[in-house]
Amino acid sequence: MPYPQSPALAHTLAARRPAARLQHLPHYLLFGAALVAFLISAGAMIAPQVAPLLHRADVQESATHSAQPAPALSRADVDTVLSYARQMRADDTLVELRPGVFAKRSNVHGVDVGGRTIFYDVLPHQSFGPLRTGRVDESQVDVLARERTGDALVLVYVLK
């Protein structure tokens, strides 16, 4: 051993060790703060993308599990509403919802069938009926029909 150990030196080195650990504490705090900020910003970016998917699943599930009896609608009336949902009709003009966003009038305001207004939403595609846009919730509508059209489900309903 080239240098003899000094008790004073050993005491000084032992006293410095906890201080050395505390020197790295700001680095850990900075890393933790950056990680939390990243997770919050990632959640803020992802939430708007995921929310419509969750809403669609809720609407589809509630539509398939609805136990309340709905008012009767004849097959001819259902076919009339489906003709508005499936194609562009001459009597179904486009309305501007906001600048640059247009939708069929029947999808926004419903279809007049026998003196009552019948609404439809095409799931999972973009629709602008009161149920799909959130103006009303599932408890405020009576589902009259569910019709499969290719890969889409047309939900036909009236307001309570």
pLDDT in tens, 6-20: 666 666 655 555 555
pLDDT at 26: 83
The pair of structure tokens assigned to 45 is 């970016």
Q: 104 pairs with which residues across the strands?
A: 94
At 112-135, the pLDDT tens digits run 998 899 999 999 888 999 999 999
The pair of structure tokens assigned to 139 is 């408890």
The pair of structure tokens assigned to 135 is 């103006």
What average pLDDT does the structure give for the chain? Answer: 81
CB atoms inside a 10 Å sphere around CB 159: 15
pLDDT at 10: 63
> Average pLDDT for residues 136-149, to the nearest whole number?
91
Dist. CA 46–CA 41, nearest whole Å: 9
Dist. CA 155–CA 123, nearest whole Å: 7
